Amino acid sequence: MTDSPRSLKRNISPPPPRRASKASRHRTTAEDVNNVSAAAVEAGEAHIRNHLEYFCNEHEKVRRPSAQQACHLSIADFRALYMRNQHSRGCHFVIHQHDHPVAGVHYDLRLQFSESSSLSFSIPYGLPGNPNSLRPNRMAIETRVHNLWNNLIESSSHATGSLLIWDTGEYEVRPRNLARKQPETDDEVASNQREEVEEDGMSNLSEPEKLALAFQERHIHLRLHGTRLPQNYTIAMRLPRHNYRRKQPKAPCRRRRHQNLTTVAEKVTSESDEADSGQLSTTEKATESAALKDAAAASEDEGRDALQREQIRVENAYPGATNSIGSVHQRQWFLSLDREASGFVKATKGTDRGRWVREDDHVGTRSGFETFAVMGREVETSVITGRTAMDVMEDGGVKNYMGRKMWRPITE
């Protein structure tokens, strides 16, 4: 007796599920992506496969005519910038303007250090742009390690406020003590020779490898090749000894929203005074101290469940990112403009004696750059879309948003 055909032996109840065609699967995914908000992607509430294409498409939809100006980056160049850094030697950076409902306006500097992750610092008043400012220094507070694709985001929501790209580009790690006085002793000569050997050894390292070494040494000199920032713009960052710790902070207690400014002022340490050489009033010191605390509080992750918050706290990294660089949450670094590396020279005579000035070389090219100040949410715009913080809110459908008041730019 011959066997029955295999088609007659197969169970027909219940019928096997039909495999969806590739076209239908792609169509469903595309429809889902079109309905996903940037804020949902940022918060981890929605997952997409191609973050670059998603955000490029989103930026294209909301791009303002003003974004055609020379100080802005085209979508094509924005895409190319990210693509050429999608590897372990990539050196992508972004500066986000973040108008947070609790922390208020601050600026997040994010530096790629691996194929997938970025080191993040919160800078309450933005980067310094005046070599002769009465308040030349800033605090830069370590926050969570982010996914590299977070460098692409512009978004808005009631929970997180608005986020726009203030500048983006590639960074370069510079050697320390680039412009030192001439050595006067044998010890200084030997020290300089050791530094030259170290610099030669670093020449074969990638920028992320240099960043990791400088980060561990607690002294970072960065040249930011951005779109908005002037040519050769260079900053110096250092972690004071009293802030050097390896352990992540404990889970925060419930924060008190209202504090007496005089009480807060009494807690401002002498190290905070060192970070700002200008003379500040008691109220100004209190406001600045509160701004530092609030900027750090912007990454407290209150929208996530308890288990995920604990994992983020222990690792100091958002899901998908890896904290292989050893970042510790809320450590406070000092940040200043590296005036010599940025092209300024200190005048030794004339009416500008003692001031940092620009200098013409033998072909008439001026060193340094025109001074600038970071003016905050009402003034600053995205270098990608040309939008203000209010534009980002309107495009995201966020209405009746009550932002944090009392922020003022450093212009003196």
User: pLDDT tens across 358-372, in order?
Assistant: 998 877 789 999 999
How far is residue 81's CA from residue 75's CA, in Å, rounded to a whole number? Answer: 10
pLDDT over 90 at 34, yes or no: no
How far is residue 115's CA from residue 406's CA, in Å, rounded to a whole number? Answer: 38
- Residue 246 or residue 311, greater confidence: 311
Taking phi over 0 as left and psi of -120 to 50 as alpha, with beta for the rest, 304 belongs to: beta
Q: Among the listed ranges 108-112, 256-260, 369-373, which one has the minimum average pLDDT value?
A: 256-260
How far is residue 213's CA from residue 202's CA, in Å, rounded to a whole number? Answer: 10
Length of the chain: 412
How far is residue 290's CA from residue 272's CA, in Å, rounded to a whole number? Answer: 12
Question: What's residue 258's pLDDT?
Answer: 45
- Residue 138 or residue 289, greater confidence: 138
- Residue 181 or residue 130, greater confidence: 130
Instruction: Write the single-letter amino acid at 248.
Output: Q
294-316 residue pLDDT tens: 555 555 566 667 888 999 999 99
- The pLDDT confidence band at residue 342, using thresholds 50, 70 and 90, is very high
Q: What is the pLDDT averaged over residues 111-115?
A: 98
**Residue percentage of the chain with pLDDT more than 90:** 57
CB 71 within 8 A of CB 381: no
CB 111 within 8 A of CB 171: yes
The mean of the pLDDT values for the chain is: 82
Q: Which of 169-173, 180-184, 375-379 has the highest mean pLDDT?
A: 169-173
Q: Which of 47-51, 259-263, 286-290 has the highest mean pLDDT?
A: 47-51
Q: Which of 294-308, 309-323, 348-362, 398-412 has the highest mean pLDDT?
A: 309-323
CB 353 within 8 A of CB 359: no
Query: Which residues, 6+ apart, have CB-to-CB distance to 15 below 8 Å?
Result: none
- The pLDDT confidence band at residue 234, using thresholds 50, 70 and 90, is very high
Q: Compute φ and ψ for 173, nearest 5 degrees.
A: -85, 120
- Can you list the pairs that 298-302 forms with residues at least 24 positions away whose Cβ atoms lie under 8 Å? 298/98, 298/100, 298/102, 298/103, 298/106, 298/122, 298/143, 299/122, 299/143, 299/144, 299/329, 300/252, 301/144
pLDDT over 50 at 74, yes or no: yes
CB 193 within 8 A of CB 180: no
Ordered DSSP codes for 365-387: PBPS--------TTT---TTT--
**Which residues make beta-bridge pairs with 357?**
345
How far is residue 391's CA from residue 155's CA, in Å, rounded to a whole number? Answer: 10
pTM of the model: 0.79
Question: What's residue 210's pLDDT?
Answer: 98
Question: What's residue 190's pLDDT?
Answer: 53
